[in-house]
Amino acid sequence: MIDLHTHSFFSDGVLLPAELIQRAQQAGYEAIALTDHVDESNFDFVIPRVIAACEAAGRTLPIRCVPGVELTHVQPCSIAPLVGACRALGARLIVVHGETLVEPVAEGTNLSAVKAGIDILAHPGLISPEAAGIAAASGVCLEITARKGHCLSNGHVARMARRYGARLVLNTDTHTPDNLITCACAQRIAMGAGLDAEDFSAMLETSRALVARALQ
């Protein structure tokens, strides 16, 4: 399993970064990204701490750890400047909290995010053809999610990705230990979204490529 969307207690998760990484290692994960929620108020606090956690794990564990962030409920006009600020501080993977069906995310977030040079648009809800097309052209990955509620639009996201040629990844949006899943479970979630075994293999390879790029 490669999981590029997880949360520690530096945002709304319940685990120390070290325990989150250790539990993922024990669950057989190949790689994990720590992507705690940030906005303009806390990105400079969170990023150095997830970098330290990933560096510590890298010295002792075989699991690959990517320090990242999830820009969450940031107004569309502020996404691009904050992406730049987060990368400047050392975030190696930028996720944006997309227009999920179960939260009042600002309209225009998906479109602003895919234009801003991010890596993954998380749970993008009823993503528009325009945003899906820009994601495909700019290499932004769309997320199929295991997270309750956010997963309601997985089928739509999968269809739009296929139609416009956008790359997909599958993540858990882990907040608690029981949110971590096996690769077999991830494949079942992909199938539930209307994807097949070949699509699932492609998602894993896309995730591997993101990890390799982030850690090069």
Report the number of distinct structural domains present in the chain: 1
Cα 130 to Cα 42, 100, 166, 200: the distances in Å are 31, 17, 12, 24
pLDDT at site 197: 97
pTM above 0.95, yes or no: yes
Tens digit of each residue's pLDDT (9 = 90 or more) over 12-22: 999 999 999 99
Q: What is the pLDDT of residue 111?
A: 98
pLDDT of res. 134: 98
| Secondary structure letter of residue 10 according to DSSP | T
- 174: helix, strand or coil: strand
Q: What is the mean pLDDT of residues 102-109?
A: 98
DSSP states of 83-132 as a string? HHHHHHHT-SEEEEE---TTS-PPTTHHHHHHHTT-SEEES-SS--HHHH
- Summarised one tens digit per residue, pLDDT across range 184-213 is 999 999 999 999 999 999 999 999 999 999
Cβ partners under 8 Å of residue 178, min gap 6? none
Quick: pLDDT tens for 76-100. Answer: 999 999 999 999 999 999 999 999 9
Task: Please report the pLDDT score of residue 157 as a whole number.
Answer: 98
Question: Which domain covers residue 155, as residue numbers?
Answer: 2-215
| DSSP-based three-state secondary structure for 178 | helix
Q: What does the pLDDT read at residue 122?
A: 99
| The pLDDT of residue 49 | 98
Sole residue written with tokens 């079942």: 188
Q: Enter the tokens of residue 203.
A: 């998602």
> Would you place residue 114 in the very low, low, confident or very high pLDDT band (cuts 50, 70, 90)?
very high
pLDDT tier at 110 (50, 70, 90 boundaries)? very high
| CATH number of the CATH domain containing 152 | 3.20.20.140
